[in-house]
Structure 1
Amino acid sequence: MDYLYNQGVILHCILLIKNSSKEEKKLNKRKKDTRWLASVALMMAVVILLANTPLGMIQLPVIKATTVHIPVILGAILLGPLAGCILGATFGVCSLISNTMAPTLLSFAFSPFLSMTGIPGALKAVWVSVGCRIMIGLVAGWLWILLKKVKLNPVIALPITGFVGALTNTAFVMGSIYKLFINEYAQVKEVAIDAVWGLIMATVTASGIPEAIVAAILVAIIGKVLINIVKIA
């Protein structure tokens, strides 16, 4: 009887330890999820701030380079592709609202409310303004994961991710405008359709490349600091 009693006590203790371990894992997961959500919310606030203030633009010798995609890329690096997609969508919604409230010559390609071709044009505009910006976080997040798997030094991996992430923004936005709005683009620019490709490539060269270089530098500098902070935390 004493033997059975002792065995029962041991079994009970084992079950208590297992249950305690499970509860601890659940608690740690909740803490991690809460911390992730708080971090994403903080990065979203940064995106919104940059998108609605002059801080989102850097004056270069020829053009102004946007920096709104920088927190999207950094969020994708620090918090993963899902966070990058959420931040990219935030960037896209800010762009959509901005082009609706303060329209420019090409706002029809970014705001569904300014569509020149009805519902099809509106859906295309949502893709350009929001969908293309989601791709920034998706590409940057998975590229960072790939570079980590091949154990590339962060000093090299960070600027590469920043450069590619920024070019993703330019390539998807301008490429989508060319594919989806070529006729409307030619109309507002008052050029022949054959000339649109040249204008698109001029924009990519004059704006996209400088923005990618700025992104590479800023992501390398800021990313290194933030990665160290995350490690300490």
Structure 2
Amino acid sequence: MRNNSVKKLTVVSMLLAIIILMAAVPQIGFIQIPILMLSITIMHIPVIIGSLLEGPKVGLLLGAAFGISSWAVAMIRPVLPTDYIFQNPLVSIVPRLLFGLAAYYLFKGSLKFIKNQKVAMSVGAISSTLIHSILVLGSAYIFGTQILTEVYGALPNIIIFLLTMMGVNAIIEALVAAIVAVPVITALQKYLKK
């Protein structure tokens, strides 16, 4: 029993360290593309892995680490004009906390309809990533309208930008999450059962 607790603590600590490392090293966790004025992230993947593997408390912890890291990056080294929106914790931290919880519950909910655990993990990873994008972009719109207006102009341009982010970024991030998270979770489950 104690050995299993140590293994779980090791896995959670490893995921936490990965999140911090991804935030600390430019262009790893937040891949910024200045020409297109957008940023793609893969930092949500360790949150999904931890949440699906260890439950909502771990999802909340890793979501907090993701959010605080996002806030710190926006404060210390903003690259894009839109990065300043993430200096508001209501944009950078709160959506990531909710996302960490949502990942677990979306996975558990999908298990009620999908009996194949790997398919349910994929559905959980994809749907939670889409929820993450909706929460972050919605918060950015609500709390960052002034900055978005300065960067993109009138409201129709902002709407086009946000819809493009949902249509391109969110789908890419969701597919990458499913492709990476499922085999990693499967391997970690085997490790934890030893």
User: Could you tell me the TM-score, scaled by structure 1's length?
Assistant: 0.72
Q: Is the 8 A contact 1:162 1:215 kept in 2?
A: yes
Q: Is the 8 A contact 2:114 2:120 kept in 1?
A: no
Q: Is the 8 A contact 1:167 1:212 kept in 2?
A: yes
1:82 counterpart = 2:49: no
SS of match in other structure, 1:134: helix
1:99 counterpart = 2:74: yes
Distance (whole Å) between structure 2 residues aligned to residue 106 and residue 58 of structure 1: 14
Which amino acid is the alignment partner of residue 56 of structure 2? P
Structure with bigger gyration radius: 1
Correspondence for 1:43:
15
Correspondence for 2:47:
72
Q: 1:38 and 1:224, CA in 2 relative to 1: closer, same or farther beyond 3 A?
A: closer
Distance (whole Å) between structure 2 residues aligned to residue 152 and residue 217 of structure 1: 19
Q: Calculate the aligned-residue CA RMSD, in Å.
A: 2.6
Correspondence for 1:219:
181
Distance (whole Å) between structure 2 residues aligned to residue 205 and residue 166 of structure 1: 13
Q: Which runs of 5+ in 1 are unaligned?
A: 1-27, 112-124
Pick the aligned partner of 2:149 from 166, 186, 194: 186
Q: Is the 8 A contact 1:154 1:224 kept in 2?
A: no
Pick the aligned partner of 2:107 from 130, 144, 158: 144
Correspondence for 1:131:
94
Q: Is the 8 A contact 2:91 2:143 kept in 1?
A: no
In the TM superposition, residue 97 of structure 1 has moved relative to its aligned partner by 0.9
Q: 1:48 and 1:132, CA in 2 relative to 1: closer, same or farther beyond 3 A?
A: same
Structure with higher RCO (Cα < 8 A, 6+ apart): 2
SS of match in other structure, 1:194: helix
Q: Is the 8 A contact 1:87 1:137 kept in 2?
A: yes
Distance (whole Å) between structure 1 residues aligned to residue 59 and residue 106 of structure 2: 12
Q: Is the 8 A contact 1:185 1:196 kept in 2?
A: yes
Pick the aligned partner of 1:56 from 26, 29, 36: 29
Q: Which runs of 5+ in 2 are unaligned?
A: none
1:154 counterpart = 2:129: no
Distance (whole Å) between structure 2 residues aligned to residue 229 and residue 32 of structure 1: 10
Query: What whole-Å deviation, never above 9, does each CA across 1:38-97 have from its counterpart, x for those lacking one?
Result: 4322221111122223443679xx987421110100000111011011101101111111
Percent identity at matched positions?
A: 29
Aligned residues: 189
Distance (whole Å) between structure 2 residues aligned to residue 156 and residue 37 of structure 1: 26
User: Could you tell me the TM-score, scaled by structure 2's length?
Assistant: 0.85
Distance (whole Å) between structure 2 residues aligned to residue 108 and residue 58 of structure 1: 16
In the TM superposition, residue 222 of structure 1 has moved relative to its aligned partner by 1.6
SS of match in other structure, 1:110: helix
